[in-house]
Amino acid sequence: MGKPMMGTRRRITIASWKPPHEGVIHGTLTLDATKVLDYIERARDLTGERVTITSFIGACVGRALALEPTLNGRIHMGKYYPYDDVSLSFLVQIDGGKQLAQVRVKDIDQMTPADVAKELQAKASSVRSGEDESFKKSADIASKLPTPLLRRVLSLTGFVTTGLGLPMAGQPAFPFGAAVITSVGMLGVDEAYVPPTPFCRVPLYVAIGAIRDMVFAIDGKPEVRKGLSITATLDHRYVDGFQAATVARSIRESFDDPDSLGPLKGS
């Protein structure tokens, strides 16, 4: 029998898996992206930044969390502690998709989609080029530990970095912020739900689906437009229907009026 081959990403996935027992809520928003795509095109032309649907939705989620502070925090030892700022993390592919790394963007509720794109691009480039020391240290630890020990280290790291708010194993305090965002649309997937990752200790996971032709009711008549689905996995300890509705309503409003996320010169 040959020696098993596993990259760091797969080792962490296996080590962090356990039978589901947490209560979670799943939800989907299917949205008309016509206005957003126009905004993104204008933002690229006027700012020179590589604004994407991911950076736009990151700005949307940041504002939604600012409106719903019961989601912008952490649970530690049975108590809820709100964060002092709104930070989110994005999953980015490295090594041609063989590994994933998280990139945290702080104070994202105060940023335009162009601001998010600029910071996301800079931090993702740092990880991909090997200049991010935190990622290098974490990946090195994960690649060397046997799976049973890695499982314990991941759990302890989550407890220390997010629970206690202290750095450990190459990770800073609160490394994931209050949400994790990933784009499955770039992989050609229409819709998917992100499974909770215990050591991340975040209340919200967002997956962005592919932009495609959809039928929407416009002035009471069916019309084919570009649309997409955004899915959410929420920790039920933080959120009930009311809080989830607040987040959904905020995101819908941002799609209806993209310029509310940052008016562009010449708009």
Tell me if 40 is assigned to some domain: yes
Angle between helices 8-16 and 133-144 (to 10 degrees): 70
Tell me if 168 is assigned to some domain: no
Q: What is the pLDDT of residue 191?
A: 92
Q: What is the pLDDT of residue 133?
A: 74
Tell me if 195 is assigned to some domain: yes
Tell me if 108 is assigned to some domain: yes
Tell me if 162 is assigned to some domain: no
Structural domain that includes position 66 = 23-127+176-257
Q: What angle do CA 190, 113, 266 make, to 5 degrees?
A: 120
Q: What is the pLDDT of residue 24?
A: 84
Tell me if 111 is assigned to some domain: yes
Q: What is the pLDDT of residue 3?
A: 47
**pLDDT 10s digit of each residue in the chain, 267 long?**
444 444 555 555 555 555 556 678 899 999 999 999 999 999 999 999 999 999 999 999 999 999 988 889 998 988 889 999 999 999 987 766 667 788 999 999 999 999 999 999 999 888 887 777 777 777 777 778 888 888 888 889 989 999 999 998 778 899 999 999 999 998 889 999 998 888 889 999 999 999 999 999 999 999 999 999 999 998 888 877 788 889 999 999 999 999 999 877 544
Q: What is the pLDDT of residue 127?
A: 82
Where residue 107 sits, what CATH number does that domain have?
3.30.559.10
Query: Structural domain tally of the chain?
Result: 1
Tell me if 9 is assigned to some domain: no
Tell me if 64 is assigned to some domain: yes
Q: What is the pLDDT of residue 169?
A: 79
Pairing of strands 204-208, 179-183: parallel
